[in-house]
Amino acid sequence: MTDDFYGGLDFGTSGVRISIINLQKELVFSKSVPYLNSFKKPNSWVNSCEKLLDSLPIEVKSNLNKLAISGTSGTLTASNLKGEPIGEAIPYYQACDEHKKFFNTLTSAENHLRTPYSSLTKALKLIDKYGNNILLRHQSDWITGWFLKDWNHGEEGNNLKLGWDLKKGSWPKSYINTSWHKCLPQIIKSGKIIGQINSDLAERFNLNKKLLLISGTTDSNASLIAAGLGKEDGLTVLGTTIVVKKIIDKPIKEQGITTHRINGDWICGGASNAGCGILSKFFSDVEIKELSRQINPSENTSLNLLPLNSKGERFPINNSNLEPILGPRPVSDSLYLHALFEGLANIELKGWEKLRELTGSFPKKIITIGGGSKNPQWRKIREKMINIPIVSCNKTTSFGTALLAIKSNQ
């Protein structure tokens, strides 16, 4: 008997990964493709996606029942009313403060949105540039629209930074009489069926013509689903950026903090502008692996680096003018990598301290997912500094997105 398959696509900062699972939730296919062009270009997302669809085994293509998509939280793009992208997307890590006065009036009752990194600041910039006869969509919502050839919808978690209120199930009242209210998506809950794949697209890639698109989630939420987070656990995602998350009793509205609802639980977390992205600026993956073997995690470098990927930080502090500290660089490459690991671990620690300040407790165990989770020396440095047991999860974010797709069937 032919198996039914369920897919998850995750759009990250550097590329796209697909995971295909069967009804037993076993991974049957996984592949990643880097972006050929800039992350800011929606056509880069499409090109990489097309490569992955082409690479699927024919049995998977014809029996792929459902597909969900996750993407970077806070990356916003403008398109015309036909869904065709206009210009470049504004990435999650970019601060926008050109419309501060108007922005402040819109967010007077929404403290968590009062940051230059919110999607609302990006929306105002795009509206100012292209007018209000446009669609404003986050990365995974826009790609989901590409599959459907229908860009009307947006998933709830992806739109929190744009102002969507999970508890009220609405946009802020201050948006209602604006000329750009129509630019916002119709919100659908994560894990719900949106519609069937566009027939021309299904034919082009030999996909099941009854393939259903499922409302997805953010990349870090997909990581949380993949990790199977317990109520006393914490999650650290070590991707291009560092994300920390934990389950809480009631939602929090605070600058730099995002509160999501996943599988009936409230999840709070924050995302730094620091992460593995800074490591790749100095070393290749092979070099990191080799140099890491030379690191003694029990020793300290005392170099006190602040390894932000670029100027500005979102969490654990909210400061768009904060400058990275990447020097002085020692002669030894392994010592420099050690210092970068320490700097990143210190940012993670401050993130957990911030969540403890807001929630009253530390997690009893930290589950780590993402490329950085595979490095044993970094893990030991983190464990020493944070003083909480850390375990690595070998599941990928796209696997969590595939689980979201299969759950919509149950």
List Cβ neighbours of 228 (8 Å cut-off, separation of 6 or more).
Answer: none
pLDDT tens across 197-230, in order?
999 999 999 999 999 999 999 998 999 999 999 9
Res 1 pLDDT > 50: no
Q: What is the pLDDT of residue 410?
A: 47
How many angstroms separate the CA atoms of 15 and 75, rounded?
A: 14
Q: What is the pLDDT of residue 249?
A: 87
pLDDT tens across 371-388, in order?
899 999 999 999 999 999
CATH topology of domain 229-393: Nucleotidyltransferase; domain 5 (3.30.420)
CA-nearest of 113, 72, 99 to 221 is: 72
Q: What is the pLDDT of residue 105?
A: 76
CA-nearest of 126, 111, 121 to 80 is: 126
pLDDT tens across 137-180, in order?
999 999 999 999 999 999 999 999 999 988 889 998 889 889 99
Instruction: Return the bridge partners of 137, or none.
Output: 77
Residues in the chain: 410
Give the pair of three-digit tokens for residue 188.
């659908």
pLDDT band of 409, cuts 50, 70, 90: low
CA-nearest of 11, 62, 1, 2 to 211 is: 62
Lowest mean pLDDT among 17-26, 123-132, 253-262, 339-348: 253-262
Please say whether the beta carbons of 100 and 40 come within 8 A: no
CA-nearest of 127, 123, 158 to 144 is: 158
Pairing relation of β-strands 135-138 and 27-34?
A: unpaired
pLDDT tens across 359-373, in order?
889 999 999 998 899
Q: What is the pLDDT of residue 274?
A: 94
CA-nearest of 366, 324, 363 to 235 is: 366
For residue 228, the tally of other CB atoms under 10 A from its CB is 13
Rounded to two decimals, the pTM is 0.88
404 sits in which H/E element: helix 397-407
238 sits in which H/E element: strand 233-238
* Alpha helix (H) residue ranges in 57-118: 58-62, 100-106
Per CATH, 5-219+399-407 and 229-393 having the same topology is answered yes
- Give me the mean pLDDT over the 319-332 stretch: 94
Q: What is the pLDDT of residue 254?
A: 78
* Amino acid at position 211, single letter: L
pLDDT tens across 253-304, in order?
777 788 888 878 899 999 999 999 999 999 999 999 999 999 999 999 999 9
Letter string b/e over residues 150-189, b meaning 16 or more CB atoms within 10 A of that residue's CB: ebebbbbbbbbbbbbbbeeeebbeebeebebeebbbebbe
Preceding amide of 330 cis, omega within 30: no
The alpha carbons of the chain give a radius of gyration, in whole angstroms, of 21
Q: What is the pLDDT of residue 387?
A: 95
Task: Say whether domain 5-219+399-407 belongs to CATH 3.40.50.300.
Answer: no
Pairing relation of β-strands 153-155 and 135-138?
A: unpaired
Cα separations in angstroms, 343 against 328, 353, 371:
13, 15, 17
Q: What is the pLDDT of residue 108?
A: 64
List the chain domain ranges. Answer: 5-219+399-407, 229-393
pLDDT tens across 80-137, in order?
999 999 999 999 999 888 877 777 777 766 767 778 888 999 999 999 999 999 999 9
Q: What is the pLDDT of residue 2?
A: 61
Q: What is the pLDDT of residue 52?
A: 97
How many angstroms separate the CA atoms of 59 and 273, rounded?
A: 40
Helix (H, G, I), strand (E, B) or coil at 208: coil
pLDDT tens across 38-83, in order?
999 999 999 999 999 999 999 999 999 999 999 998 999 999 999 9
Helix (H, G, I), strand (E, B) or coil at 19: strand
